[in-house]
């Protein structure tokens, strides 16, 4: 209910509630699963609600019913009778006695008719696939027109899967084994251990510095976290820095840098030699950059609170060997990690963001040295924010040569969606 009324991201709302709740680890994990699961499957759950509710309930009662329906239809490890009982008890605390009886009747019907209702929901996969996959109609249609039905359904399935957690090894702190030896050590590399000293299970990825972690809850409690031996980061977020390819001793401008995941990876690739200016419009968010640099042992970063299109007044003509603009975007490549974003983004937001991105890219180009590199990146899947911005920039600024573009598509690459374009200032 609070999520519906609030403009705050779901992650922030959940973190705030869990911080003040006295819950055991298992209960925290269940609360997280229920919250994000209901958001990811919002339209499917509303369809099921329409099948079992004899009348339209108040919003608070509808939210309670959806919580019970999610457990009955999407959580096999919770027995249906237990889901019904706990949800009715919640209704007794949050609604009237009559409404609690209504919840009880609706959920008992859902439980007894589960197979038939599940079949009805599955039938929407052909008739109204955006309902089955719980994505806004406009977004589903937009993607379908570009990639076709099979690809868009695969993308929606990806977005509805809880995301794994990846860590990037911080080679400023850790000497990392490579090659075949790394594959042989895929279980329990020594750099991440829990409080008892037992190694956590990790799995290599296609990126040499990134590993998938099986028990993410233990990460921030591990000694390696405090020692700055790793950073929690999806492999797709490394694409832009790999395309930037910074070298030790160079100067780098990192625009829109907060919270600093790319910044610290730039410093790692530079072996902590050279100079990085990390800018962001939010001084508060730049504090996260400072904290991440401190924990990971990064010593070559200076932060600058300034909005990207106004950097001229702050940097006064200074130029850099390499400039990275990780532009604010629609984030459609990371909907799996931001479960509520699909319900918040509006269709006209994409064109508005594209205009901002082009202005920021034009501003970023002013800081590239002759012969220097400029990289533009987003975590969007939308061509208006990616290829079209690049095309417009190339038309307006022919002194920049487009050297390469790279992108990731989640169903194909098994990582979040991202885009990066590299220019050379001639």
Task: Give the pair of three-digit tokens for residue 54.
Answer: 């004899």
> Which CA distances in Å does 310 have to 262, 281, 304, 317, 328?
22, 10, 12, 12, 16
DSSP 192-250: -B-TTSPBPBEEE-SSTTEEEES-GGGGGGSHHHHTT-EEE--GGGGHHHHHH---TT-
Whether 415 and 408 have beta carbons less than 8 Å apart is answered as yes
Contacts of 316 (CB under 8 A, 6+ apart): none
Length of the chain: 426
Question: Count of CB atoms within 10 A of residue 254's CB?
Answer: 29
Whole-angstrom distance, CA of residue 234 vs CA of residue 211: 9
* Paired sense of beta strands 418-425 and 368-378, if any: antiparallel
**Catalytic one among 156, 256, 306, 379?**
379
Our answer to whether residue 256 is catalytic in this structure is: no
- Could you tell me which residues come within 8 angstroms of residue 158 by beta carbon, excluding any fewer than 6 positions away? 336, 410, 411
Q: Are strands 202-204 and 210-213 parallel, antiparallel or unpaired?
A: antiparallel
> What is the rounded distance in angstroms from the CA atom of residue 302 to the CA atom of residue 318?
14
372: enclosing H helix or E strand? strand 368-378
Judged by DSSP in three states, 375 sits in: strand
Residues sharing a CB contact under 8 Å with residue 220, sequence separation 6 or more, in sequence order: none
Residues 231, 224: Cα–Cα separation, whole Å: 10
List, in order, residues 6 or more apart from 105 with CB less than 8 Å away.
54
Q: Is the dihedral of CA 213, 218, 220, 222 positive or negative?
A: negative
Residue 308: DSSP 8-state = G
Scanning the structure block, which residue is given the tokens 């374009």? 421
255 forms bridges with which residues in the sheet? 325
Structure tokens at 86: 């706990």
> Would you please indicate which residues are annotated as catalytic (active-site) residues?
379
């Amino acid at each position: 209910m609070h999520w519906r009324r609030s403009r705050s991201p779901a992650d922030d709302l959940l973190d705030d509630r869990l911080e003040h709740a006295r819950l055991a680890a298992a209960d925290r994990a269940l609360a997280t699963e229920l919250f994000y699961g209901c958001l990811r499957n919002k339209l499917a759950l509303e369809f099921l609600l329409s099948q079992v509710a004899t009348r339209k309930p108040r919003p608070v009662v509808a939210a309670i019913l959806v919580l019970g329906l999610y457990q009955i239809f999407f959580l096999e490890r919770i027995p249906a009778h237990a889901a019904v009982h706990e949800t009715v008890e919640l209704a007794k605390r949050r609604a009237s006695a009559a409404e609690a009886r209504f919840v009880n009747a609706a959920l008992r019907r859902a439980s007894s008719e589960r197979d038939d209702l599940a079949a009805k929901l599955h039938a929407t996969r052909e008739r109204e696939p955006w309902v089955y996959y719980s994505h806004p109609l406009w977004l589903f249609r937009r993607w379908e027109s570009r990639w076709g039905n099979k690809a868009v359904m695969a993308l929606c399935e990806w977005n509805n899967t809880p995301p794994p957690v990846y860590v990037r090894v911080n080679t400023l702190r850790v000497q990392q084994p490579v090659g075949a030896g790394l594959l042989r050590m895929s279980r329990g590399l020594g750099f991440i251990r829990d409080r008892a000293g037992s190694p956590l299970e990790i799995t290599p990825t296609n990126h040499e510095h990134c590993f998938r972690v099986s028990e993410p809850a233990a990460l921030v409690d591990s000694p390696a976290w405090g020692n700055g031996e790793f950073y929690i980061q999806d492999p797709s977020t490394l694409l832009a820095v790999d395309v930037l390819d910074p070298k030790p001793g160079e100067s780098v401008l990192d625009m829109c840098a907060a919270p600093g995941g790319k910044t610290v990876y730039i410093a790692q690739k530079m072996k902590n030699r050279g100079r990085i200016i990390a800018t962001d419009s939010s001084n508060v968010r730049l504090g996260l950059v400072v904290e991440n640099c401190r924990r990971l042992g990064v010593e070559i970063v200076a932060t600058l609170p300034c909005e990207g299109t106004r950097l001229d007044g702050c940097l006064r003509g200074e130029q850099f060997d390499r400039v990275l603009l990780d532009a604010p975007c629609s984030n459609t490549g990371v909907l799996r990690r931001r479960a509520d974003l699909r319900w918040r983004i509006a269709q006209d937001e994409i064109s508005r963001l594209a205009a901002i991105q082009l202005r920021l890219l034009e501003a970023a180009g002013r800081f590239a040295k002759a012969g220097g590199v400029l990289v533009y990146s987003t975590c969007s899947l939308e061509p208006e924010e990616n290829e079209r911005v690049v095309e417009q920039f190339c038309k307006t600024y022919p002194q920049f040569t487009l050297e390469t573009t790279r992108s990731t598509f989640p169903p194909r690459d098994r990582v979040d969606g991202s885009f990066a374009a590299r220019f050379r200032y001639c």
